[in-house]
Structure 1
Amino acid sequence: MLVLSLLSPNQGQLTSFLSQGMWHLFGWGGVIIPIALGIGGFYLVLWGMEQPPTLPYLRLLGILFLFLAFEAFASLAVVTWNNGLTDVMATAQEGQGGGYVGGLIVRSLTLVIGRLGAVFLLLVVGIVAAILTSGVSRQDMGLFLGGLFKRKAEDDEERDILINRGSSAMTTGQSPAFTGVESGKNDEASVPATQEKTRAGSPSRRKRKAQPAQQPQPAANGEQEQIVAPSPVFLNQVDSQIWTLPKLEEMLDPGSEQDIGDAYIREQVEIIEHTLESFGAPATVVEINQGPTITQYGVEPNFIVMRNGKRTKVKVGKIASLADDLALALAARSIRIQAPVPGKGYVGIEVPNSDSVLVSLRDVMESAEFQHIGSPLRIGLGQNVAGQPIATDLTQMPHLLIAGTTGSGKSVCVNSIVACLLLQNTPENMRLVMVDPKRVELTGYNGIPHLVAPVVVDLERVVGTLQWAMREMDNRYKRLADLGVRNIGEFNKKVAENGGEGMPYIVIVIDELADLMMLSPEETERGITRLAQMARATGIHMVIATQRPSVDVVTGLIKANFPARIAFAVASSTDSRVILDTTGAERLLGQGDMLFQSPDAAAPLRMQGCFVSEKELGTIIDYWQGARRSARTTIAEPAPQLPTTEEEEPPSAAAAPPQPPEPAQQPLWEDMREEEEKAAKYSDELLPEAIDMVRQLGKASTSLLQRRFRIGYTRAARMMDVMEEDGIIGPPTGTSKAREVLPWKAEEAIPENQEKS
């Protein structure tokens, strides 16, 4: 309505009042305000109030100052300085320029700092406001300005070099132009040095110098991509000077404080003591620990008088059996009783808080407990029942098993562990192998330089992934033995002393173990067990999660090799025993409430897990994806190729190598291609039986296979071809006789998985 009132020639009383007020107050800027209001209303109509637009306060401040600077410049545009400042308010009265707002700004600034000072100040304010509005960070501005000054210095350096060459040519009696052509071959050693300086300085300048005028742009880009990533499978490995760790305060948000009133705590204490006394188990609350989700009340059993007159303390088991009665009295969802608390002289009654708070990963990583751990694979888990941060070292676990039902916080825990590792490690000292059969939890990490290969989503390739990890483990053990060291830490230290390159840690993250165990239980269990038993010294660690903690998924062999476990809320005490060998997980609240069984602890520790939002994860992933692209641009820059003769032509766009594809689902490692092709040959389920039959009979023919297995000619002929290719049977004799069987090679033709199946 405001826009129509401003543009309509015929106006009513209301629209006339609105339009005149907008023109007089804001002048030309009066058109911007109703348009902005209309855009905001249109957004709310489409998306509703569920997703209100969120703008940082600095950006809002930048928009405000940018609008005020526009108003002031609009007033300056219509003011005639012959009559001084009197024209400012006159134009505002007519609705011209910036209205009364712009006129007042111009009038005030001109009276204080003069006309030129006002113009300069408004320019500075406008530039700063534009920067705040665009959201450009101070680091980006510093890099941009530094690049400008560096480019200027490089131009001066190149000019000095050209002047020195010209002066040297004049002293030898030759013209500079003649020197540049005739002595081009003699100066080949000096040209790359200058080009190298230019290449290390400004990417935009090196692109111009590396391409002649007639060379299309795509050819240079393709050449860069070919140098960085010649294989579409492996991710690039670049120099250590490129990677810089992200700043914690820029990636993660701080947590909020929790405030529980003393009156509420006293009321809870009275209810607990009264309930216990009414059930014949008198006790006194001696300690209170407030956590983010629960509050632990430390209860010390009192004495009771027996029938014989003796005084004896209440049994701990009697207090533990009153969990349901206490939950009823406190009107709590669930109560867990830890009887007794390890190392304490009381029984812990854990009562859910009326208002729970989220535990920020940033608060845990900034804590002294986290900083005290000196390992590169330290991870923040959360806060315990007393609100103290809990951190641990993945290298000491050395593997972690996570289990819990859907919605209990299992996936958030996995993401927080990965985020914690990405915030502390560059791709040089830590690499990731991720398996996500559900295709929704870990696929967002595709494109970060830490990944050995794209996230595995095909179940058929998981066994090959575990086999690759076992081969990598064996290769690392050979390298450790060659240097005479025992673990990866000693290896990297010794190699660094000699100026060599160390081995990075490898963390294998599997989001859903149940799907793998259903597809190939024997191979999956064997691979995970062998890695869990032997991979610690080589720097390979596993983080495995499952939402079905049953005995056929978390087998006894797997559980025995995973002493560090995390249990989220589960459906029954049976599932809790599968994970922790004890009950308690069935009484958890969900939403990050968990029990952590440390390898060196006697009992599980209850805590609230760290929460990492989708926004924070996206910020971390975007940072490393941008760092990878920056590394590819910096390292992959080809040396400029300048034609030395007129006959030489620059490479055409058609001759440029193709761009490497984006990370997609493909064989992870090149040797897996051979395994997949070999497995494809033995996809026929009757092939092992056919091999056994021809070995027993000593002869083989297509008609024999057709009769014995009642199959068609095509299938029987295909099995004959496979057996001939693998050396089980001889070539065709050219007659109707059966083929010869070669029993001494028959053992090699059956893969291990087919033979066991």
Structure 2
Amino acid sequence: MPRGRKKKNRGNGPGRPRKREGEYPPGFNWALNLKPETKRSIFIILFLVLSLITLLSLFDLAGGLGRFWQETIFKFFGWSAVLLPLLFLFIAYAKIRQEKMNFTRGNVVGMILFFVGLTGLFHAFYNPDEALAVVAKGHGGGYLGYFISFPLQAIAGFWATLIILFALFFAGMLLMFNLSFADFIYRLKQIKDKSKDLSNRGLSTIRKVMPKSDVEIKEIKDDSGIDAPPSSETETGKNAGDDFTTKPVVSEAAQTTITPPKVRNYKPFPLDLLDGKSSQPTAGDIHSNSRKIQDTLKNFGIEVEMGDVNVGPTVTQYTLKPSTGVKINQIVTLQNDIALALAAHPIRIEAPIPGKSLVGIEVPNEAVATVRLREILESKTFSLRRSNLMIVLGKDVSGTPVLANLHNMPHLLIAGATGSGKSVCLNTVILTLLYQNSPRHLRLILVDPKKVEMTHYNDLPHLLTPVVTEVNKTVNALRWAVAEMDRRFHLLSETHSRDIFS
């Protein structure tokens, strides 16, 4: 090569970095760079799919893959494998609500201890000679239970092994749900009380002591003498009015006499059938809340004088009297500011309180009290009633029983959203009337198209007919009721009376 002439470097000239072995072309990045929320979503989907596939494999609905997975988990976990779908579902749910549940390593350790203790307990009752044969069938505690229980039995014996495994199982359950022993006992008590309340709602105890009528009540038939309104046009095309002749409904209704079945040896229902256990509401620091309300209004230039405080079952009412010159709307517009100061939502402002020159601020209680029907039936307000048609509605904001007279209600409509308590209110109305009246003074026709709400009343001696659940029988029952109403009006007109009390 001639001197002074440099050799060209075609591969690694200036500006051309040397390619390293395994380096990808510029601009191509294999890193996923996923956001934490995306990773969490993928984790949740994986465990949900795993839960569903495991559940399907338990019922042999996942094909060959499901059978292989079923054999694997049963050989490893034994009978504990049936809990794996719930475990995977719980892990996915905990990941969804990780901000609120605060799922930690302690919960994971709890799951491990739970399964260790459970599988060991399942396998501890087998003889050592048949232990491996049981594992091959997928019974007992599987391989996990075998390698836990039998070494323990060789060291500590059978009974000590049971105690240790049960302690592991129980400790794992507490760790998994992050509960103390006192919390666990409290939860069990809550479940027991809840089941007791649900059983009481069925009114099963009333049916056990309820006397039955000796007279068979016949089914209501469509023979009351009242025809259904004709259609607008007959089959032959003629107008219905051409051959239509009116029938004297009142006279036919008057001829229809009603003889209610006699009930012998009737005994009033004792109040012991109702649950009398009551709870007290928790209103929080009343004096502190009163001061906060007064200070909040004062910050906006509104001077008020705090009055009485009424603690009700659901809310606590704080009464106040505005100073002269203060408009009521000024207080009402500060509703959100007062709620913020009290750290309570929602609050309700009643301005003014009916019959008083005061403003009421209703704040939700920290703990709500359950209003029992029995305590109202035993109250002085109910004992001083002037009518046996009173119905119990509950308690007002001051905890005073609220009653209404059905005599003043020719029609009563109970309406509300789903879960608002319509069925509870209706059952309360029926029970209140039953506790006040014997079958001699009160007769009922109950219609239940849903067939699940009132069937437990079928043995009541107060019923004129069993609970009506079919639509065609409902029409007949209503026709009979209209005819009976007309008959009674006819009797009242003959005696020149306005009602049965005059």
TM-score if structure 1 supplies the norm length?
0.33
TM-score if structure 2 supplies the norm length?
0.49
Question: Which is richer in strand?
Answer: 1
